[in-house]
Amino acid sequence: MEHRLRAAAALPGYAGFAIGRTIWWDGVEAWKDGTLARPQAVAAIGAAYRRFIDVCRGVGR
């Protein structure tokens, strides 16, 4: 997914992204199966979202 965001972000007219499950799936699954407590799952989801924002903005290229 990051590769696709990087490619799209370089195009004129690109305005953002809508990813959905790619952002929150792992955190929710880990919370449901008990490998993460709710606060850690929330943090994992937030970190995933932040990573995609950074990719979209070209941070860390």
Quick: pLDDT tens for 6-57: 787 777 887 777 777 878 899 999 999 999 999 999 999 999 989 888 887 7
Q: What is the mean pLDDT of the chain?
A: 84
Position 20 scores a pLDDT of: 79
**Can you give the pLDDT at residue 14?**
75
How many structural domains does the chain have?
Answer: 1
**What is the predicted pLDDT for the residue at 43?**
97
Which range marks the domain in which residue 48 is found?
2-57
- Name, in order, each residue with C-beta under 8 angstroms of 36's C-beta and a sequence gap of 6 or more: 27, 30, 44
